[in-house]
Every structure is written in C-alpha cells, then in structure tokens.
Amino acid sequence: MRLIIDVGNTRVKVAVFEIDTIREVFVFEKANIISELKKIISRFSISNSIISSVANFTEKEKQKIVELLNPVFLNSRTKIPFKNLYKTPRTLGVDRIALASAAINKFPNKNVLVLDAGTCITYDFITNEGKYLGGAISPGVAMRYKALHTFTSKLPLLEMEEVENFIGVDTKSSIHSGVINGVSNEIDGIIAQYQKKYPDLTVVLTGGDTYFLSKQLKSVIFAHPNFVLEGLHTILIHNLAND
C-alpha cells in the first residue's frame, strides 16, 4: 500500500492507496502529524509514500517523517508526468503540480482545465499533448467574505449560503449575491474563455468548496474532491517507475 500526504497550513489530508484505489482518507491538524502518521502506519503496511506541503516543517519534524516513511518530498525538482511550460517552474505550487498530474492520469490526451476551490481558487490548464501552460489564481469564497468584513467598518462577516436571487434585497443577501454570484460568474466566464480556444475542453472542479460551487455553476464539470491526492499518487508511481 502507498501513503499519500497532503499538508496544508493547518490541516493534513492523508490517503491510503491500494493499487489505484483510495482505501481510506484521514484528516487531522498539522500539529499532530507525527502521532497521526504513527497510528496510520500501525494499521497499514506501507511500501512507498509521498508528501506535499504548502507549509514549512521544522528540521525535527522532517527528520521524524523521514525515519517513519522515507517519503518522496514533492518539490520543483521532482520527476513529473507532464511537460512544465510555466515560466517560473520553481514558483509553481506543489498543489498545482499535483492537480496537473491528476489531470494527465485521469484524462489522457485531452485539454483539461482544473479548478481548485479552496482558500484561493486556482485554475490550471493542461493541453492534450501533456503540456502544462499555467492558469490563474484568485481569492476563494471564504477569503472574499473576510475581505468585505475586514476592509469595511460595518459589513458583517457571513458564512457562505446558496443564492436563490441574484438581486440582494438587504445587506446580508447583497453580500451573499456579490460573493457567490460573483464567484460563479467568474468561474463560468473563465471556463468560457478556455472553451472558445479549446472547444473540446474537459473541466474538473476540486477543493473544499467543490460540492457547494458545483450546484451554483452553469458549466458542465467533473467534481473530484480528492484530485490532489490522486495527483500525488500519480507522481509517486511516476517516480517509482523512473528511478
């Protein structure tokens, strides 16, 4: 079995893969990573592993992880299953590298646009020739709500809600319309831009806000909540095959 570890700024998402299937997924706080990994290792026989992190580890944490798993640490020098044409490849986030790898594996020989709706909304485009061209980064849903509250004196901080009428009739419904309707139209508009140039486009939506946003969008998409984990697994297999 293979262990796939995706480390965010505060939370960690871990998947146990058996061949090409996710057997179990674990989510826990980053502060507990060593103890939680020990629990998982005690339950499963792990042969190989990979770790992707947008947060920094202390040297002590990194050493303990190496002792436990000796994983592949994903970075800009890791072997990947696509041609990276990003002008600054060393600045490309490991999460975006994983998403591009998942797109290559799940939709070979297709033009794929991957949307990751989390803290930020990222857009990553892979051509049918397996070339990563780049994409876009914009504020996520929660970030937009927080920005309205933080940078004004009177607007309240709201939790996201579905919008039934795009015309807000009071302050709260106006905020919801501005954020949710704005995000939905942004995503639909960007998809339309890509479709104009690549009519046979495949669109994938992933990230924490996947299910909420998929109900708001007009565009036809594939929802894959574990796309980053699947991409990391693809990278691990690629490295094992090319060692």
Binding site for K(+), by residue number, is 116
Active site residue 95: yes
In the prediction, which pLDDT does 220 show?
65
Indicate the average pLDDT of the chain.
92
pLDDT at 80 over 90: yes
Q: What is the CA radius of gyration of the chain?
A: 19
Given 20, 95, 124, 188, which residue is catalytic?
95
- 206-223 pLDDT, tens per residue? 988 887 887 777 776 788
pLDDT at 54 over 90: no
In the prediction, which pLDDT does 60 show?
87
pLDDT at 30 over 90: no
pLDDT at 78 over 80: yes
- 122-133 pLDDT, tens per residue? 999 999 999 999
- 131-169 pLDDT, tens per residue? 999 999 999 999 999 999 999 999 999 998 888 888 999
pLDDT at 192 over 80: yes
Given pLDDT bands bounded at 50, 70 and 90, which one contains residue 58? confident
d(CA 211, CA 36): 27
In the prediction, which pLDDT does 175 show?
95
Q: By mean pLDDT, which of 84-88, 206-210, 234-238 is the weakest?
A: 206-210
Q: How far is CA 4 from CA 10, 58, 135, 146, in A?
A: 17, 20, 25, 31
Closest CA to 96 of 134, 129, 128: 134
Write out the chain in H/E/C secondary structure. Answer: CEEEEEECCCEEEEEEEECCEEEEEEEEEHHHHHHHHHHHHHHCCCCEEEEEECCCCCHHHHHHHHHHHCCEECCCCCCCCCEECCCCHHHCCHHHHHHHHHHHHHCCCCCEEEEEECCEEEEEEECCCCEEEEEEEEECHHHHHHHHHHCCCCCCCCCCCCCCCCCCCCHHHHHHHHHHHHHHHHHHHHHHHHHHHCCCCEEEEECCCHHHHHCCCCCCCEECCCHHHHHHHHHHHHHHHCC
In the prediction, which pLDDT does 6 show?
93
d(CA 114, CA 190): 11
Closest CA to 135 of 203, 183, 200, 77: 203
Tokens 């849903």 correspond to what residue? 141
Binding site for ATP, by residue number, is 6-13, 119
At 240, phi and psi to the nearest 5? -65, -35
Q: Which domains does the chain have, with CATH numbers?
A: 2-73 (3.30.420.40), 83-142+157-232 (3.30.420.40)
In the prediction, which pLDDT does 207 show?
86
In the prediction, which pLDDT does 110 show?
96
Cα 52 to chain center, whole Å? 11
Binding site for substrate, by residue number, is 86, 93-96, 171
